[in-house]
C-alpha cells in the first residue's frame, strides 16, 4: 500500500518591498512521504520569494520532469519553473527550454559541492538563476513546520525575514547566478 502525502495548510502573508507584492496567500502544501520538513519549508520560501496569484506547487517528489513550483500565464505557457534542492543540470537545461525563466533554490550540506560541479554548466543556461539558502536558515525553517501555519515573510533589498508567533528568522540568500 502506497503512503499518502501529508497535507499542510499555510496562511502566508508576503510583504515583498523589492517587487511591490503585498498579499496573503492561503496555501495547501502536499508533503510527499519521503520529503523532509526542511525541503517543504524551502519550497514555501521559494513561493514567498516569487509570490504571484498564478504560482502553484507541483505534484511533488514523485513526479519526475515537473517543477516544484510553476508560474504559468493565461495561455498555460510556463513563465517560471522553480526547482528546490540539488537538481540534475540536464533537467534544468530541459526546463529552460520549456519556460521563460528557471529558478533553482539549493540548500543543505551538498549545496556548495553541487555548485562547484554544476556552476559552469549552469552559467551557459541564460534564463536560469541559482540561489543558495544557508543551512542554518533551512533548519530553522524546518522547525516552524506544522500542519497549520500562519506565517509572515518580509523581503527587502534581498534580505528575507520569515516569522510566526514563535519568532522570526533572518535569511540572507546567496545568488550564485542571476538569470540573463
The domain that contains 121 carries what CATH number? 3.10.640.10
Rg of the chain over CA atoms, in angstroms? Answer: 15
Split at pLDDT 50, 70, 90, the class of 3 is confident
User: What end-to-end distance do the CA atoms of the chain give, in Å?
Assistant: 46
Q: How many domains does the chain have?
A: 1
Residue 54 lies in a domain: no
Residue 156 lies in a domain: no
Asked if residue 36 has pLDDT above 80, the reply is yes
Counting Cβ atoms within 10 Å, is residue 157 exposed (0-12), middle (13-18) or buried (19+)? Answer: exposed
The pLDDT of residue 63? 57
Residue 104 lies in a domain: yes
pLDDT tens digits, one per residue of 76-90: 999 999 999 999 999
Say if CB 98 and CB 78 are below 8 A apart. yes
Residue 94 lies in a domain: yes
pLDDT tens digits, one per residue of 97-111: 999 999 999 999 999
Residue 177 lies in a domain: no
What's the pTM? 0.95
Residue 102 lies in a domain: yes
Split at pLDDT 50, 70, 90, the class of 23 is very high
Residue 62 lies in a domain: no
The pLDDT of residue 60? 61
DSSP 8-state class, residue 5 = P
The pLDDT of residue 5? 86
**What residues make up the domain containing 131?**
69-149
Alpha-carbon distance of 34 to 2, in angstroms, equals 12
Residue 99 lies in a domain: yes
Give the three-class secondary structure for 100: strand
The pLDDT of residue 65? 72
The pLDDT of residue 56? 96
Amino acid at each position: 500500500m502506497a503512503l499518502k502525502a501529508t497535507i499542510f495548510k499555510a496562511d502566508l502573508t508576503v510583504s515583498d518591498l523589492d517587487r511591490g507584492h503585498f498579499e496573503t496567500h492561503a496555501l495547501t502544501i502536499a508533503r510527499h512521504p519521503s520529503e523532509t520538513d526542511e525541503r517543504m519549508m524551502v519550497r514555501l520560501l521559494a513561493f514567498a520569494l516569487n509570490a504571484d496569484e498564478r504560482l502553484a506547487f507541483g505534484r511533488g517528489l514523485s513526479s519526475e520532469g515537473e517543477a516544484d513550483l510553476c508560474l504559468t500565464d493565461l495561455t498555460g505557457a510556463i513563465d517560471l519553473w522553480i526547482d528546490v534542492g540539488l537538481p540534475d543540470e540536464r533537467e534544468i537545461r530541459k526546463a529552460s527550454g520549456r519556460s521563460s525563466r528557471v529558478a533553482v533554490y539549493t540548500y543543505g550540506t551538498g549545496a556548495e559541492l553541487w555548485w562547484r560541479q554544476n556552476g559552469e554548466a549552469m552559467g551557459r543556461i541564460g534564463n536560469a538563476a541559482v540561489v543558495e539558502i544557508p543551512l542554518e536558515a533551512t533548519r530553522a525553517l524546518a522547525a516552524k513546520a506544522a500542519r497549520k501555519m500562519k506565517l509572515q515573510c518580509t523581503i527587502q533589498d534581498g534580505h528575507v525575514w520569515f516569522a510566526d508567533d514563535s519568532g522570526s528568522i533572518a535569511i540572507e540568500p546567496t545568488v550564485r547566478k542571476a538569470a540573463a
